[in-house]
Amino acid sequence: MTVYCGIDWAESHHDVALVDEDGQLLAKRRIGDDAAGYRLLLDLLAEYGDSPEEPVPVAIETSHGLLVAALRTGTRQVFAINPLAAARYRDRHGVSRKKSDPGDALVLAHILRTDMAMHRPLPADSDHARAITVLARAQQDAVWSRQQLVNQVRSLLREYYPAALEAFQHKQAGLARPDARTVLAAAPTPARAARLSLSQLRSALKRSGRQRGIDSEAERLREVFRAPAAHHPPAVEDAFGQQLLALLKQLDAACVAADELAEAVEASFRDHPDADIYLSFPGLGVQLAARLLAEIGDDRHRFADARALKAYAGSAPITRASGKKSFVGRRFVKNNRLISAGFLWAFSSLKASPGADAHYRRRREAGDWHAGAQRNLLNRFLGQLHHCLQSQQLFDEHRAFTSPLTSSLTAAA
């Protein structure tokens, strides 16, 4: 007897439903979100035929958490069903639009019974790849949080302290630089900044870790801070300074977290067997390559072909056709983290790869906008990456980007 399991996930408890191949409800149970609940679930699955050789497939509306980790033991297929898709399936079983947690678990079980081939199970990635996923996503989130804080600091400085923006905005990393954060902490208001001496500025730059050009930089900062500028009343300016100091503390913590996570990502990524393949591609450094590996994984059977990977990333166009109307546009349902890293990859590859630069320029000459040309270049890179991962080969610039003239001569021969 073939059995299918559906689990309606919640924070404190989960509803479980088991159905057979004819759609008959075999069992339903509510379990707690703890070790005892997970053990009860596994015992229930075993009671209805679950075994290492023939595990019961499970449908659930999430792809992470301890419950999913408990279910992903052995060769069991776990399907993470999008809640929006599950809501559409719910309408097939009744028109009253009633909803309950046990009913949702039953709907999920029926999804596997009728349309399991239409849904993708969670990939069988190695523990190493899943650890890289955790670290790379955390580092990406830390970078985004850091940039949000930088934007808040920039917006605040525009209100009362434009000299600080003039002093640091044009430099690489801008207000996130250690010297910028240290100097602003020492002088959070324009009045205090104008009173800083050269020796105080030199001390602040040294505390930030700067080792070169300290004297010239201190003189430049003193000129910027002492230039004529408009001011708020002293009490208002001091209040702005207190707000800046509070933001700087948050920014310091975000910068430290991003740097520490970046070191952890690099150490873990370089030990992965696929690291050399990723790093052989132009425009990919350790952090960007780790983000790609985190989203693609190392399960060789996850994507049937390169087209599946391109669709997952959102780089492949999608066609909507009805009657005589046809529209080709970009995908909106995609892995947002992967496409974000992919655009950075395509942009950075323009200087590292003559073939990528030529491909981008051809797309621009054909009428594509910048984003469209980058998406087309990423689409090509993903196809090459899929081939290299499947065949365990390093990237070859000459084979990856063959000129149109060479391709025509080869075809004629």
Q: Are 315 and 336 in contact (CB under 8 A)?
A: no
Do 191 and 237 contact (CB within 8 A), yes or no? yes
Tokens of 394: 């390093």
The per-residue pLDDT for range 202-228, each reduced to its tens digit, is: 999 999 999 999 999 999 999 999 999
Q: Domain locations in the chain?
A: 3-122, 131-267, 274-400
CA atoms in the 13 A half-sphere facing the CB of 57: 23
Select the more confidently predicted residue: 321 or 141: 141
325 pLDDT exceeds 90? no
- Is residue 408 very low, low, confident or very high in pLDDT (cuts 50, 70, 90)? very low
Residue-level pLDDT at 411: 40
* pLDDT tens per residue across span 248-270: 999 999 999 999 999 999 999 99
Whether 406 shows a pLDDT value over 70: the answer reads no
Instruction: Provide CB contacts within 8 A for 178, sequence distance 6+.
Output: 208, 209, 210, 255
What mean pLDDT, rounded, does the chain reach? 91
pTM of the model: 0.86
pLDDT tens-digit profile of 156-206?
Answer: 999 999 999 999 988 888 899 999 999 999 999 999 999 999 999 999 999
Give yes or no for residue 95 having a pLDDT over 80: no
Phi, psi at residue 50, to the nearest 5°?
A: -70, 130
Rounded average pLDDT over 383-405: 87
pLDDT tens for each residue of 334-364: 899 999 999 999 999 999 999 999 999 999 9
How many CA atoms does the CB half-sphere of 77 hold within 13 Å? 15
What pLDDT was estimated at residue 172? 85
Per the document, the length of the chain is 413
User: pLDDT band at residue 404, thresholds of 50, 70 and 90?
Assistant: low
Judged by phi (left if over 0) then psi (alpha if -120 to 50, else beta), residue 17 lies in beta
Higher pLDDT, 58 or 83: 58
Name which residue leads in pLDDT, 106 or 330: 106
Grade residue 1 by pLDDT with cuts at 50, 70 and 90. Answer: confident
**In angstroms, rounded to a whole number, what is the distance separating the alpha carbons of residues 47 and 315?**
45
Query: What pLDDT, on the 0 to 100 scale, is given for residue 181?
Result: 95
Give Cα 39 to chain centroid, integer Å. Answer: 33
pLDDT band at 403 (very low <50, low <70, confident <90, very high): low
Using pLDDT thresholds of 50, 70 and 90, give the confidence band for residue 101.
confident
Nearest-angstrom CA–CA distance, 250 and 190: 21
Class for the domain spanning 3-122: alpha beta
State the distance between the two ends of the chain, measured CA to CA, in whole angstroms.
Answer: 58
Answer yes or no: are the C-beta atoms of 399 and 383 closer than 8 Å: no
pLDDT for 86 equals: 87
**According to the model, what pLDDT value does residue 407 have?**
44
